[in-house]
């Protein structure tokens, strides 16, 4: 009994400590889903038909990285970019990418932000345009002057900022962009340069010619330099766009979802209010019906809520309207374990056992049904999490975590508290305190 009392005090202090952490810490904020915070979710379908089947996963993860970097560049706070893999289980045969942008409610801006792809192209000057004067060139379209080589940004491996070295006719220290092609690009580049020595190979970015070097020799190492009279900043941003810009697979927007900030705010405040009122009603019922054990159950329920919130913060679990609903449901299930135990204790008390023995029996006999019923809830939560879309996942996660934590609080914590206050001597009044319902 002393052991239980010491442990109880320790548990209460621990809960207060964790509660303080949940309340105070800003390092791990609650993550709110778009439906509570306002924002935009965009879902893209990736066209992987040109990718070899073995490397689709790689292509998708590099697509995710590219889009994530691009989103980050625009300073959206906590964007979530996720690949949704196809397969029998997920019910789709498509490769999808979902992008959540909290706080962004202008879809046009968001779509533009993600869809921005710098187009890098290498073009040869047409032989007939070779000798035209500047004046004449100005009146021609790009297609009239240049012929495409098929070499473009998709063959790019990487780009980096470099500076011209001294020597030759160059001024040293000028910024330039050094690019490296991938193996296919290297072969193509080698072929183009070998066949066109002495001609101009113009480099276009987003349809603008930025450099027009003359091919002096065949280049076989797959390296090229773009020197377009850049400032250091221009060269830097070109390097960034080239590295992060080219999407490895083409994407198509298939679904969008936008929720205004005020609507989200309403859902949030009313969800929290419902939680508080629901909790108060449950506590009222527990204390009125189960008396002293009801108070203990309410205390474990408070600890349950504190622990859950702490874990939601740490993982972090994104709260959505469905997630809050899942949490409220899990509160009900958490109480169920205590109800099972107390009802069982009452039965044992009726068989004229002492309060202490009745409690013991209550806990040990209720355990099996708590275990099996909770396992079935966990199975449900796992399947939902595995199959679900983001809204269902939020529900499954809060429910699953809730059930697991409730196994600890409703059993271990309640048990410790109850055995800490269980009376040594029996009396009618003490039996009344530990009994429940409208009768004794």
Interaction residues for other proteins, span 357-376 (CB under 8 A): 365, 368-369, 372-376
In angstroms, give the least distance from the CB of 95 to other proteins: 13
Toward other proteins, which CB reaches closer, 197 or 382?
382
Residues 307-326 that bind other proteins (CB under 8 A): 321-322, 324-326
Please report, for residues 60, 111, 241, 438, the alpha-carbon distance to residue 251 in angstroms, rounded to integers and kept in the order given: 11, 11, 18, 65
Q: Binding-site residue total for other proteins (CB under 8 A)?
A: 75
- Of the candidates 213, 250, 278, 423, which one interacts with other proteins according to CB under 8 A? 278
Are 300 and 338 a contacting pair, CB within 8 Å?
yes
Q: Per CB under 8 A, which region of 235-243, 267-275, 408-416, 422-430 contacts other proteins?
A: 267-275
Q: Of residues 30-89, which lie at the interface with other proteins (CB under 8 A)?
A: 35, 43, 89
SS (H, E, C) 279-339: HHHHHHHHHHHHHHHHHHHHHHHHHHHHHHHHHHHHCCCEECHHHHHHHHHHHHHHHHHHH
| Residue from 58, 60, 102, 62 nearest 80 by CA | 102
Structure tokens at 424: 């040594």
- Selected from 389, 426, 427, 432, the binder of other proteins by CB under 8 A is 389
Report the residue number, 175 or 271, with the smaller CB distance to other proteins: 271
Question: Does position 92 bind other proteins by CB under 8 A?
Answer: yes
Spatial separation of the C-alpha atoms in residues 272 and 290, rounded to whole Å: 26
Which is closer to other proteins, CB of 142 or CB of 392? 392
Nearer to other proteins, 238 or 337 (CB): 337
What mask, x for binding other proteins by CB under 8 A, covers residues 279 to 308? x-xx--xx--x-------------------
49-53-59-61 Cα dihedral, nearest 10 degrees: 120
Query: How many CB atoms neighbour CB 218 within 10 A?
Result: 14
β-bridge pairing 120-125 and 201-205: antiparallel
| Residue linked to tokens 């972090």 | 316
Count CB-CB contacts under 10 A for residue 75.
Answer: 7
Q: Contacting other proteins (CB under 8 A), which of 17, 29, 150, 332?
A: 332
* Residues 188-247, interacting with other proteins (CB under 8 A): none
CB 202 within 8 A of CB 209: yes
Between 118 and 275, CB nearer to other proteins: 275
Write down the least CB distance from residue 194 to other proteins, Å: 46
Stretch of residues binding other proteins (CB under 8 A), selected from 63-71, 144-152, 304-312, 390-398? 390-398
Of 135-154, binders to other proteins (CB under 8 A) are: none
Closest listed residue to residue 346, CA positions, set 439, 255, 257: 439
Among 158, 183, 175, CA closest to 240:
158
Only one of the segments 104-112, 131-139, 173-181, 306-314 lies at the binding site for other proteins (rule: CB under 8 A); that segment is 104-112
Among 108, 139, 166, 425, binds other proteins (CB under 8 A): 108
Indicate the angle between helix axes 232-245 and 56-73, nearest 10 degrees.
140
**Contact between 391 and other proteins per CB under 8 A:** yes
Does residue 339 touch other proteins according to CB under 8 A? yes
């Amino acid at each position: 009994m002393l052991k239980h009392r010491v442990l109880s005090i320790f548990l209460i202090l621990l809960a207060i400590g964790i509660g303080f952490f949940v309340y105070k810490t800003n390092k791990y904020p609650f993550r709110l889903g778009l439906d509570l915070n306002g924002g935009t979710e965009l879902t893209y379908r990736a066209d992987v038909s040109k990718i070899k089947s073995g490397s689709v996963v790689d292509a998708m993860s590099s697509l995710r990285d590219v889009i994530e970097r691009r989103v980050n560049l625009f300073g959206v706070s906590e964007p979530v970019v996720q690949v949704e893999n196809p397969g029998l289980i997920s019910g789709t045969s498509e490769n999808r990418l979902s992008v959540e942008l909290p706080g962004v409610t202008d879809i046009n801006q968001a779509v533009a932000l993600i869809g921005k792809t710098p187009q890098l192209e290498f073009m040869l000057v047409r032989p007939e345009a070779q000798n035209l004067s500047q004046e004449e060139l100005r009146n021609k379209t790009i297609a009239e002057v240049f012929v495409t080589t098929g070499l473009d940004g998709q063959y790019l491996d990487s780009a980096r900022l470099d500076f011209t070295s001294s020597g030759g006719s160059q001024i040293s220290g000028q910024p330039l962009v050094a690019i490296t092609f991938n193996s296919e690009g290297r072969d193509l580049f080698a072929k183009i340069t070998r066949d066109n020595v002495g001609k101009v190979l113009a480099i276009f970015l987003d349809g603008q010619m930025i450099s027009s070097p003359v091919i002096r020799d065949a280049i076989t190492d797959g390296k090229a330099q773009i020197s377009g009279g850049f400032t250091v900043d221009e060269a830097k941003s070109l390097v960034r766009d080239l590295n992060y810009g080219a999407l490895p697979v083409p994407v198509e927007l298939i679904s969008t979802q936008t929720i205004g900030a005020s609507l989200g705010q309403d859902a949030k405040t009313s969800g929290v209010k419902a939680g508080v009122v629901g909790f108060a009603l449950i506590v009222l019922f527990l204390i009125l019906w189960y008396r002293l054990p009801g108070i203990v159950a309410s205390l474990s329920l408070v600890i349950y809520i504190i622990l859950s919130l702490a874990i939601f913060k740490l993982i972090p679990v994104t709260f959505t309207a469905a997630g809050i609903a899942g949490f409220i449901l899990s509160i009900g299930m958490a109480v169920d374990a205590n109800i099972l135990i107390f009802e069982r204790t009452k039965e044992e008390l009726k068989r004229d056992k002492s309060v202490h023995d009745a409690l013991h029996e209550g806990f040990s006999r209720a355990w099996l049904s708590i275990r099996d019923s909770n396992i079935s809830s966990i199975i449900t939560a796992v399947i939902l999490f595995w199959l679900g879309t983001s809204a269902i996942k939020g529900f499954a996660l809060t429910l699953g975590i809730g059930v697991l934590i409730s196994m600890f609080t409703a059993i271990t914590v309640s048990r410790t508290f109850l055995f800490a206050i269980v009376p040594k001597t029996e009396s009618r009044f003490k039996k009344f305190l530990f009994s429940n319902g409208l009768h004794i």
